[in-house]
Structure 1
Amino acid sequence: MSDPLKHECGIALIRLLKPLEYYKEKYGTAFYGINKMYLMMEKQHNRGQDGAGFASIKLDVKPGQRYISRVRSNAAQPIQDIFGQINDRINQELLENPDIKDDVAAQKAQLPYIGELLMGHVRYGTFGKNSIESVHPFLRQNNWMHRNLIMAGNFNMTNVFKLFNKLVELGQHPKDMADTVTVMEKVGHFQDREVRKLYKKFKAKGFSKIEASPKIAEELNVGKILKKSARDWDGGYAMGGLMGHGDAFLLRDPAGIRPAYYYQDNEVVVVASERPVIQTAFNASFEEVKELDPGKAIIIKKNGTVSLEQISEPLERKACSFERIYFSRGSDKEIYQERKELGKLLFPAIMESIDDDIDHTVFSYIPNTAETCFYGMIEEGHEVLNRQKRDYILAGEGKLTKEQVDSTLSRKLRTEKIAIKDAKLRTFITEDSSRDDLVAHVYDVTYGVVKPEDNLVIIDDSIVRGTTLKKSILKMMDRLHPKRIVVVSSAPQIRYPDCYGIDMARLEDFIAFKAAIALHKDRGTHDKIVNEVYDKCAAQKDFEDEDVVNHVKEIYAPFTDQEISDKIAELLAANEINAEVKVIYQTVDNLHKACPKNLGDWYFTGDYPTAGGNRVVNRAYINFFEGNKERAY
């Protein structure tokens, strides 16, 4: 993506189903779980590089022994940092106690981080400061083993203020209004309540406190706790939790916005944000890794039993399409094919933009996430070219000369690596003019392959803000002196903010919104429509979420997609580009064809999957109108 976005988070959960001695004997190490967690977190580093955290729980330890360990980092390379710390701690303990080198029971008793239950998290900070306090997992501590709670997730709630107030009404005093804190405190509240009920039950039956403890662990109803906790949640989430006595869960939102996959064999139960991560780490097949259904939780009891439970009534499935276009690892079998299909479906519009002149067109892509779409685009281009060759030869009715046939067969698509990203170039000077000059050179180009009579087609996976295109890529492409530059987006026009975990919160940042506003100015409708939409949004401030209407759609309503695309091309090219510039976006219909299981398209259509989305988009418009830079949720 030419416009970098902070987004998502990645979560990994491992439950070892055998004693640690089993893994020592079979795999040569009692650190099997830690090693697998490191691999799973590294394989999800694409989902977060601002922070990382790891937590573990040891099962069946004696009172007085430490059974919960946690480490977090917001260092420049947080995954390496936390596992470096883990490695240093373990090695130091082994150095001081060499007699436990091959004694697994002693290692479990004395070494930190070794345990049967492990959870890891990688984070992008989509909003606010990237302090260590914001890094997952979060820990809620208590001397009662069953009331300890560790939580981490890939989520964002649209109604955090409402959730905060609910906690206050319960008599709590949350330390922060962040959605992570409010969610954990809600789960913790019902966890505490359930533990108290069970204790009273067993006390009435004559159990002593120490006798009641294992019975509470056995009968604690995790599904019931989650159902009560999630009742008021509005957002997208894949949320994992570990309870001190050894129960664990991962819960997915009822619209399936955020992804979650799981795998189980006789040695482990594993949950992660991405399927290929589990496939790689545990050598599992595509079919063995299952997707967790919307609104369901996978619950792993302390005794190792695993169940799937419907926690929230499922809504219409609206799994995030950006997962497929950009965020998820392209090594997933389905995602790879979907991205190729996105490129393929764009080719008819590309042909129209170059006046069907394949012979004088160079095709390329913005590295690196658009590469797979590029392959699909080129495959379809080969099909088109082969049909042209066939039709020409057949039309010759056997009268073509050898030279004419050879010339026809030699025609091919001209594909080149044009844009080269200089990953090490940093805009270290903050003064505006210096920064702009450096930004303009973040990408370099390959010289000598584009001719003045050529079209240059370059595909990107999405165009969000257009900043890098305007300040860098188009300028660099123009240095090659093509006749025409066609910028192709495998995603549709991004018109509306996200509120479920992706850093796209401000309307005025979107190049599509800027283009619509510019078109209103051109047509003399700007003041009227901008004020009318503001008034309608403001009038709904105190409405219940279910009653709010997305009035921002009215900004785009008078214009066709093509009119907005043309205006975007005009805004991006400004007066500095000599070549003609065209911009092609994917259609929403084609997006759905390519990604039929991930129909969450609110970024493009404004059709939010939860009730809180309309309130957020209207709030974002009010912020735009009032010049308020605050977050809309």
Structure 2
Amino acid sequence: MCGINAIFLSDPDTVTSCRASAELCEGLGVLQHRGQDAAGIVTCGKGGRFYQCKANGMVRDVFNQHNLTSLIGYMGIGHVRYPTAGTSSHSEAQPFYVNSPYGIALAHNGNLTNAAELKNFLDHESHRHVNTDSDSELLLNIFASHLQKTGKFRVNEEDIFTALRGVYEMCSGGYAVIAMIAGFGVIAFRDPHGIRPLVIGERVNEHGTDYMVASESVCLDQLGFTNFRDVKPGEAYIITKEKVSVQQCVPAQKFTPCIFEYVYFGRPDSIIDGISVYRARLAMGEGLANQVIKKLGSLSEVDVIMPVPDTSRICALQLSYKLGILYREGFIKNAYVGRTFIMPDQNLRRASVRRKLNAMPMEFAGKNVLLVDDSIVRGTTSKEIVQMAREAGAKKVFFASAAPPLRYPNVYGIDMPTSSELIAFGRTEDEVADAIGADAVIYQTLDDLVASCRKFNKSISDFETSVFTGDYVTGITKEYLNELEEGRRAATRAKKELSNGIDRMPPKMGSEKMLGLHNNRT
């Protein structure tokens, strides 16, 4: 899961200013919750020249006054990365760039499920070099390949829409994409099922109208953009100095936005596909209340309800109100530690839990506590939190999840590639409770979860819920899932071997080795 944004400014003076990059950087800061592995910006200035800055790290670490000042231009695209396919190496920080044809930069949120097939096409038929394992670079080169077929010295909007139709025909998966053609304009398009979110807004000024595209509406809202419109499934926008062109490039398939956006990824002050994330989470709390009553029977067993900050706070508040049970904040969060779910390594996730949260014994001592979290994924965080509650003096610890049991891999851009990593796979609720050390685990039902989102936009009949059901809207073969699992195991083995190799190095040799790695990254 990544965060993307793009901007197109109408003021002619911005051709040689850094205003576009400053606004992109501010917008990426708003979207930081969607990715903390890497950040990047590419802008376009006078004469169609591209200016780029990207690196591993948080937005505040990658960008400073000096490099933002050098990112001049009236349009640009930005990206914050959370590693899914590929690795977390510097080479896979986005946006990506190719110089042929015309000069194109591209950033992408999601995951392509036919990457091997696309790589084969680029190697053997299109003869385009791909330098990383990122499917975003594949997307860029597929687009460039189709655009090159025009054979024109200059392209127009219809040429681009034709090339995009070729991209849609070849690329399968969930994706929201922003791109920029040197000296021409900004492009935004979304997969035919609308799995990954994308919204466009405008800001009127004395020079005309500025446009911004982003993963979430809150990014546009905080920068003064209004008149939000979700990019429809299979739809593409082209923004140039002359006009904004919109075209339905391919017929929309069944509209199935990812429900995990509302459970976890989206900021509560965002509206995604017409659904308020905040209101959806309130509704999740109401649905969860019914399951708590059903599971525990007597509510007298629960003294206090506590959220696992921050995502579950809204759900827990509504659950407390609905059940008439005291709500308390038992965990204090360190705001300067990243989100554990989107960390690229299991050991990092485990180690960071206790650095991120601190339990207050005065709220736990001698009480039966109902902890509420947005979901239980690998169980790493949940197990540590239950243990922290017991160490703080809780008599009983019940654990409620705003999402149903996650039992299947996600293939559309969320880091859940194998069932074996999911704690609910092959386990009952009672077995999950035993595994995380809780007295009981209470899950939201899938029907209630879907209803809590759909009630705010009844034009959406269904959501992408494959992590709960194993049903994939784009159609996924068992062979593909097996390849994913084997790739995950191989990556884990490689990390362990690398870690063991570094641990065995003599101090002097190790420091020289690390210095060499550092120099390679710079």
**TM-score, structure 1 normalization:** 0.69
Task: Go from structure 1 to structure 2 and tell me whether the alpha carbon gap of 1:83 and 1:304 turns closer, same or farther (over 3 Å shift).
Answer: farther
Task: Go from structure 1 to structure 2 and tell me whether the alpha carbon gap of 1:622 and 1:182 turns closer, same or farther (over 3 Å shift).
Answer: closer
1:48 matched to 2:32? The reply is no
Match of 1:444 in 2: 358
Pairs within 5 Å for 1:518-557: none
2: CA distance, partners of 1:231 / 1:361: 56
Task: Go from structure 1 to structure 2 and tell me whether the alpha carbon gap of 1:192 and 1:367 turns closer, same or farther (over 3 Å shift).
Answer: same
Cα deviation digits, residues 95-141 of structure 1 (max 9, x gap):
xxxxxxxxxxxxxxxxx422121111111122443222101111111
Match of 1:245 in 2: 183
Match of 2:55 in 1: 73
Match of 1:381 in 2: 323
Contact 2:331 2:358 in 1 (8 A): yes
Pairs within 5 Å for 1:545-624: 564-573=428-437, 581-596=439-454, 597=460, 599-612=463-476, 615-620=479-484
Cα deviation digits, residues 318-345 of structure 1 (max 9, x gap):
1111111111111125000001111111
Pairs within 5 Å for 1:136-285: 136-142=94-100, 147-176=102-131, 177-194=133-150, 196=151, 198-199=152-153, 216-218=154-156, 221-264=159-202, 265=204, 266-284=208-226
Identity level (%): 27
Q: Return the offset for 1:442.
A: 5.5
Query: Which of 453, 458, 483 is the equivalent residue of 2:371?
Result: 458
Q: Return the offset for 1:356.
A: 2.7
Q: Return the offset for 1:618.
A: 4.7
Q: Return the offset for 1:615.
A: 4.5
Aligned length: 472
Cα deviation digits, residues 47-93 of structure 1 (max 9, x gap):
1111111111125x3xxxx721111111x334442343424xx4xxx
Where does the alignment leave 5 or more consecutive residues of structure 2 unmatched?
A: 341-345, 455-459, 494-522
Higher relative contact order (CA 8 A, sep 6+): 1
- Alignment RMSD (CA, Å): 3.0
Contact 1:217 1:245 in 2 (8 A): no
1: CA distance, partners of 2:405 / 2:319: 19
Q: Provide the secondary structure at the position in 1 that maps to 2:316.
A: helix
Task: Go from structure 1 to structure 2 and tell me whether the alpha carbon gap of 1:608 and 1:360 turns closer, same or farther (over 3 Å shift).
Answer: closer
2: CA distance, partners of 1:335 / 1:225: 34
Task: Go from structure 1 to structure 2 and tell me whether the alpha carbon gap of 1:507 and 1:85 turns closer, same or farther (over 3 Å shift).
Answer: farther
Contact 2:49 2:183 in 1 (8 A): no
Query: Which of 204, 229, 238 is the equivalent residue of 1:290?
Result: 229
Task: Go from structure 1 to structure 2 and tell me whether the alpha carbon gap of 1:436 and 1:158 turns closer, same or farther (over 3 Å shift).
Answer: closer
Task: Go from structure 1 to structure 2 and tell me whether the alpha carbon gap of 1:629 and 1:141 turns closer, same or farther (over 3 Å shift).
Answer: closer
Task: Go from structure 1 to structure 2 and tell me whether the alpha carbon gap of 1:477 and 1:36 turns closer, same or farther (over 3 Å shift).
Answer: same
1:419 matched to 2:401? The reply is no
Name the amino acid aligned to 1:296: E
Q: Provide the secondary structure at the position in 2 that maps to 1:511.
A: coil
Query: Which of 122, 138, 148 is the equivalent residue of 2:80?
Result: 122
1:10 matched to 2:7? The reply is no
Which structure carries more strand by proportion? Answer: 2
Q: Return the offset for 1:10.
A: 0.9
1: CA distance, partners of 2:353 / 2:433: 20
2: CA distance, partners of 1:487 / 1:503: 23
Match of 1:484 in 2: 396
Q: Provide the secondary structure at the position in 1 that maps to 2:279.
A: helix
Cα deviation digits, residues 423-448 of structure 1 (max 9, x gap):
67899xxxx99998986676432223
Contact 1:455 1:483 in 2 (8 A): yes
Cα deviation digits, residues 491-540 of structure 1 (max 9, x gap):
1100101111111112111111152xxxxxxxxxxxxxxxxxxxxxxxxx
Contact 2:45 2:73 in 1 (8 A): yes
Match of 2:255 in 1: 317
Task: Go from structure 1 to structure 2 and tell me whether the alpha carbon gap of 1:612 and 1:245 turns closer, same or farther (over 3 Å shift).
Answer: farther
State the structure with more CA Rg: 1
Task: Go from structure 1 to structure 2 and tell me whether the alpha carbon gap of 1:473 and 1:190 turns closer, same or farther (over 3 Å shift).
Answer: same
Contact 1:256 1:317 in 2 (8 A): yes
1: CA distance, partners of 2:234 / 2:95: 22
Q: Return the offset for 1:217.
A: 4.1
Contact 1:489 1:584 in 2 (8 A): yes
Match of 2:510 in 1: none
Task: Go from structure 1 to structure 2 and tell me whether the alpha carbon gap of 1:171 and 1:274 turns closer, same or farther (over 3 Å shift).
Answer: closer
Q: Return the offset for 1:358.
A: 4.3
Where does the alignment leave 5 or more consecutive residues of structure 1 unmatched?
A: 1-7, 24-28, 91-111, 200-215, 383-412, 516-563, 574-579
Name the amino acid aligned to 1:172: H
Q: Return the offset for 1:290.
A: 0.7
Name the amino acid aligned to 1:585: Y
Cα deviation digits, residues 546-592 of structure 1 (max 9, x gap):
xxxxxxxxxxxxxxxxxx1111112222xxxxxx6100111100111
Contact 1:147 1:191 in 2 (8 A): no
Match of 1:104 in 2: none
Q: Provide the secondary structure at the position in 1 that maps to 2:62.
A: helix
**TM-score, structure 2 normalization:** 0.83
Contact 2:312 2:374 in 1 (8 A): yes
Match of 1:37 in 2: 24
